[in-house]
Chains A and B, each alone.
Chain A
Amino acid sequence: MQSRFRLPIVLIALAVGPAQAQALAGTTDGADLAAACTGCHGPGGHSAGAVPDIAGMPVAEFERRMAAFRDGEGTIMNRLAPAYDAAATAALARYFADRPEPASP
């Protein structure tokens, strides 16, 4: 039982070596971070309906909006933005800025 339980750790260690601990401290991979947002904002930030479309939003504007949410603006973003520090916000801004405009609405 114990050996099976440990296997995934062995596997990961073999596959990735010492990089693991560092990565676990918190990722700045935009796609990973954005996966928490797209349930509301839609795939790639392309929203249908009232939630704002954030696909293709310029980085500076995105960061300005997130700063305003951290200062209390918004109906729900004011409860989400405080969890994201400058590095995570910058990664999210780049990720959504890079999403192309939708081909069709």
Chain B
Amino acid sequence: MSDGHDARRRALMRALAGTGLLAAAAPMPILGAQRGPRIVIAGGGFAGASCALALRRLAPAARVTLIDRQREFVTGPFCNTVVGGLNPAAAITQDHRGLAAAGVDVVHAEIEGVDPSARAAHLADGRRIAGDRLVVAPGIDFDYDALDGYGPEALDRVPAAWPGGAAALRRLHGQLQAMPEDGRVVLTVPDNPYRCPPGPYERASLIAHFLAEHKPRARVLLLDAKNHFSKEPLFRIGWDSRYPGRVEWRGRDDGARAMAIDVAGRRVHTVGGDEIAADVLNVIPPQRAGRLARDAGLADDAGWVPVNVHDFAAPGHEGVHVLGDAIRAEPMPKSAYSAHMQAQVCARAIAQALAGEPPGEAPLINACYSLIAPDYGISVTEVYRINGDRIAAVQQAGGTSALAAGPDTRRAESEYARSLYRNLVRDSFGSGAAPG
């Protein structure tokens, strides 16, 4: 590449101009919102919103614009309590008003696409919003190609509700209410990676809780593409003690992986050749990064976005960062806590680059509580360090709740789960609704 040096120099000048470093020789007044560097955030879920809020705190001179199609949205966390009928959807419905109050420019619009080379978002209404940095946080899309017979048109009859929206969660709960007294609920669970590894098992638990109260002879069957699952020993202990005989799990070695869905007949065809009929069928489809990231060429062949773990930058795309469920951040799971954590690291790295400060590196945490019943919580947590170009779990920390813990601990962890929800929402969106 003969022009490599020049191109690099031009790009560097551009980047420095964008960060305000070129002008740093002259003392600079605190820049008004119009003059400072601009950061454009595409997607305002836990990842994008947390990044916006952290940037307002860490880089107050920067103008932060966050774009999302949804004015109000239900959260993944605690959506299983809506499926199980423990909470109304309103209790987990959040918005971006807290971000606006913190000085984020919030734009509610459909994003047609993002352009990494221009660090710009193209909106469906024709607007184009460009910045010095672009943060892409679109969450996941379902990979409908991976499951024969299942597609967007099937969602009414056979919901995914992952979390979908308030209507999808209510529909699934309504199907539970309407099913026969001795009916069978079937959940299909995809292979890793997917959004919220313990989510399907928490959902099975809270469905079993609903059935135990309202349909005493009904059962739940999980058809899993995996042989093991998150917090498995804890879920099994909880199911045995709270829902004996009601929850059945079949895994990959049982041939349970879903191959095709008969939507009209509410049947699952498994890899093992079984045809399994359901009264209520909840398909959790295989997933990949949200379309925005894939269309922009940020994803790998498997559909997930690789990132530089120091600042969650997309390698080869200067000034572009990708966060949350859309990325490969193994061994961090795809969770709201992880998305929020990655956003803190990314916002700090952007603020430090803008200020010309050295990057610091702090441990990362993920924590996920699951409810087996309203008074029965379990948890998994890890602490991570950046080790070269990888995220590595700290050996002497992390793990799941004690297998032998008594009812007081389970109850305490259910209270902590509700508290974490409220605190994580406040630390991500600046304000929010709270479930009971």
Contacts and interface: CB of A to CB of B under 8 A. Distances in A.
B360 A23 contact: yes
A27 B385 CA distance: 11
B357 A4 contact: no
A4 B344 contact: no
A80 B381 contact: yes
Given A50-B415, A83-B397, A39 B359 contact: no
Contacts of B385: 26
Given A7-B8, A7-B12, A8-B313, A49 B362 contact: no
A5 B427 CA distance: 33
Contacts of A25: 361
B313 A39 contact: no
22 contacts: A3-B4, A7-B15, A7-B318, A12-B359, A15-B21, A19-B358, A24-B359, A27-B360, A27-B362, A36-B364, A39-B341, A39-B420, A39-B423, A40-B423, A43-B426, A47-B419, A47-B423, A75-B401, A75-B412, A80-B365, A80-B383, A83-B394
Task: Name the 5 nearest CB pairs between A and B, nearest first.
Answer: A49-B419, A27-B360, A35-B344, A50-B415, A83-B383
Given A11-B12, A15-B356, A75-B401, A36 B362 contact: yes
A88 to B, nearest CB: 8
Q: Name which of B5, B345, B396, B423 has the most chain A CB atoms within 10 A of its CB.
A: B423
A39 B365 contact: yes
Interface string A20-45: 10111111010011011111111100
B348 A32 contact: yes
A43 B427 contact: yes
B171 interface: no
Given A12-B353, A50-B412, A75-B401, 10 more contacts: A2-B1, A7-B11, A24-B359, A26-B385, A36-B344, A36-B363, A39-B423, A50-B418, A75-B416, A83-B394
A60 interface: no
B424 A39 contact: yes
Contacts, number: 166
A51 interface: yes
B434 interface: yes
Contact of A82 (B316, B397, B422, B428): B397
B194 interface: no
B358 A42 contact: no
Interface string B407-436: 001001101101110111011100000100
B360 A29 contact: yes
Contacts of B256: none
Q: Name which of A36, A48, A49, A81 has the most chain B CB atoms within 10 A of its CB.
A: A36
Contacts of A20: 358-359
A16 interface: yes
A76 B410 CA distance: 12
Q: Name which of A14, A39, A41, A49 has the most chain B CB atoms within 10 A of its CB.
A: A39
Interface in B302-335: 308, 311, 313, 315-318
Contact of A80 (B8, B356, B397): B397
A81 to B, nearest CB: 8
B398 interface: yes
Contact of B362 (A33, A50, A76): A33
Given A43-B427, A75-B401, A4 B361 contact: no
Interface string B261-281: 000000000000000000000
A50 B434 CA distance: 13
